[in-house]
Amino acid sequence: MNKILKEKIMEAFTSVLPITAIVLMVSVVFPMPAGTILMFLVGAVLLVIGMGFFSLGADMAMMPMGEGIGIQLTKTPNLVIILFISFLMGLIITVAEPDLQVLARQVPSIRPSMILIATVGVGVGFFLVVAMVRTLFKIPLGILLVIFYVITFSITYFAPNTFIPVAFDSGGVTTGPITVPFILSMGVGVASIRSDRNSQDDSFGLVSLCSVGPIMAVLLLGIFFRPSGAAVESHTAPVVETTRDVVKDFVIEIPHYFEEVMTALGALVGFFLIFQLVSRRYKRHQVVRIVVGFLYTLIGLVVFLTGVNVGFIPVGHLLGHDLAKSAVKWILVPLSMVIGYFIVAAEPAVHVLNKQVEEISAGAISQHVMKKGLSIGMSLALAITMTRILLGIPIMWILIPGYTFALILTFFVPKIFTGIAFDSGGVCSGPMTSTFLLPLAMGACEGAGRDLMTDAFGIVAMVAMAPLVVIQLMGLIYGSKMKTSKQAVHKDVSAEDTGIIIEFEVGV
C-alpha cells in the first residue's frame, strides 16, 4: 500500500510542478510579496500530498462503490426503486461536493447558501435519473444532449443576465473530486450488465447529463428568486512575516475543511453502510478496503482543499489583478493558455476519467492521448476567457456558438467519444478551476475595471465547454483512421483472395 501511495504522490508531483514553475517565473517579472510566494509553495506541497491520498482513496472506495451500486440497481426489478435511489445518490453526493460550497459562498445574493446548493443537488439528482433511463433503455446520448441544451439556452432568455454565468458555472463545479469517481463507476457498472455491442459506449455520458441539470435548475432559481447583482468575496493575500505565521494560517483552516469533507463523506458512508446491509454485495475484506479508502479520501481532500484555498487563491487573485492593471495586460492571454495547458493535470478527477477511458476502450484511447486533448481544450478555453474579460464580451456570444458546434459534432463522431467529450467538460472544471482560475479571473476583472458577476463568473463554463469540441474532433480523426484502416484490410483480403483464385486456376 505504501508503494502505491508513493507512486500516486509522485504522479501528483509531476502534475503540479509545471504550474508551480510558471507562477514562480511570472513572480520574477511581476514581483509578489515573499510571504505570498511562501504560502503558495506550502500550498503546492499540500496539494501534491492531498492528490496522492485522494487518488488512492478513489481507487479503493469511490470507484468500487459506484460500480457495485450500478450493478446492483440493474438487478432490481422495480424501476421506481432504481430511479429513486439514483435521485437520492445524485442529491447526496452533490450537496456534499466541496467545489459547490466554494461557489455558493461567492454568490451572497442567495442566502442562506444552502438554497443554491440544494437547487443544484436536485438538478443533479433528476438528471442522474435521466442518465440511468438512457443507459437502461439505450437512448442515444446525442439526442438527449441536443434536447436538453436547447431547453437550457431557451431558459436563459428569461433569466437575469447577471445570474447566467453563475448558472453555467454551477454545472461545472458540480462534477468535482467526490462526484466524478462515483458517477463514472456507476455508469460502468450499469452498462456492464448489458451484453450488447453498444454497452461500452453507454458507460460514458452520466457526468455530461448530470452537468446539464444544475445549469437548468439554477437558471430556474434565478427566474423565480430574482437575485440582484451581488458583491463577491475579495481574496487578499495574507500578511505573513515568519514561517510560524505561514504554518498558523494553514493549521487554522484545517478544521474548517475537515468539517466540510466529513459532511460530504459522512452522507456517502451512511448510504454505503445501508446499501451493504440490504444487499450484502461486498465481502468482509472488500468492506474493510472501502472503509480504508474512505479514510484516504478524507485525508486527501482535507489536505488538498487546505493547500489550494489557503495557498493558491491569494496568488491567483493577486496575479490576475496586477497583470490586468499593467501596461502589458494582454500577456494574460498567452499566460492563461500556458497555465490552462498544464493545470488539467492537477485536477484529481481528470486522472480518474483518463484511467476509466483507457480501461473501457481496451487501450484504444490511452491516458496520454486523453491528457493531451484535455490540455489543449483547457488552453483554448482560458485564452478565450481572458480575451472576453479584457474586451467585455457577453458570455452568451461564445457559449451559444460553442455548444451548437459541439452538439452538431455528436452526429458525426463515434458514440463513445460523445460520452467521453461531454464527461470531460465537467471533469476539467474541478477544484483547481474554482480555487485558482476563478480568483485569477476575478483579479483580472478588478484590474481591468470589469463587472465581476458578468465577466469573472463564466470561466468554469468556458473550461467545461472547450473539451466538448476538442475531444470530439479527436474522435472524428480516430473514426476516420479506423475507417481507412478497415478499407485497407478489406483491400488486402481481396487481393489475397484474388491471388488464391489465380493460383488455383493455374494449378488446374
pLDDT digits (tens, 9 = 90+) for 147-166: 999 999 999 988 888 788 88
Tally the domains of the chain. 1
Q: Would 248 be classed as within a structural domain?
A: no
pLDDT at residue 177 tops 80 = no
How many residues does the structure list for the chain? 508
pLDDT of residue 311: 83
Could you tell me the maximum CA-CA distance found in the chain, to the nearest angstrom?
97
Q: Would 170 be classed as within a structural domain?
A: yes
C-alpha 152 chain-centroid distance? 20
Q: What is the DSSP letter of 235?
A: -
Q: Would 294 be classed as within a structural domain?
A: no
Q: Would 251 be classed as within a structural domain?
A: no
Choose the most confident range, by mean pLDDT, from 137-141, 378-382, 494-498: 378-382
- What does the block give as the cell for 118? 440544494
- What does the block give as the cell for 259? 468539517
Q: Which is nearest to 402 in space by CA: 475, 456, 458?
A: 458
Lowest mean pLDDT among 236-245, 265-274, 493-502: 493-502
Q: How far apart are CA 83 and CA 73, in angstroms?
A: 9
Alpha helices in 280-347 (DSSP H): 284-307, 313-325, 332-343
pLDDT at residue 62 tops 70 = yes
Angle between helices 459-507 and 438-448 (to 10 degrees): 130
pLDDT at residue 507 tops 50 = no
Q: Would 393 be classed as within a structural domain?
A: yes
Q: Which is nearest to 98 in space by CA: 311, 352, 302, 235?
A: 302
Q: Would 50 be classed as within a structural domain?
A: yes
- What does the block give as the cell for 145? 444532449
What average pLDDT does this structure show over 335-356?
Answer: 76
Indicate the residue type of 231: A
| Enclosing H/E stretch for 490 | helix 459-507
Q: Would 295 be classed as within a structural domain?
A: no
Sequence-ordered list of residues with C-beta below 8 angstroms from that of 256, at least 6 positions apart, any chain? none
User: Which SS3 state, helix, strand or coil, does residue 461 take?
Assistant: helix
Indicate the residue type of 392: G
Domain of 15, in residue numbers: 2-227+306-507
Q: How many CB atoms lie within 10 A of CB 267?
A: 17
pLDDT of residue 159: 87
Dihedrals phi, psi of 408, to nearest 5 degrees = -65, -40
Q: Would 241 be classed as within a structural domain?
A: no
Convert 219-258 to b/e letters by CB count within 10 Å (16 or more is b): bbbbeeeebeebebeebebbebeeeeebeebbeebeeebb
In Å, how far are 70, 181, 214 from 124, measured between CA atoms? Answer: 16, 15, 6
What average pLDDT does this structure show over 378-403?
Answer: 90
Q: How far apart are CA 471 and CA 68, in angstroms?
A: 28
The 10s digit of each residue's pLDDT in 433-491 is 777 788 888 889 888 888 877 888 888 888 888 888 888 887 787 777 777 766 666 66
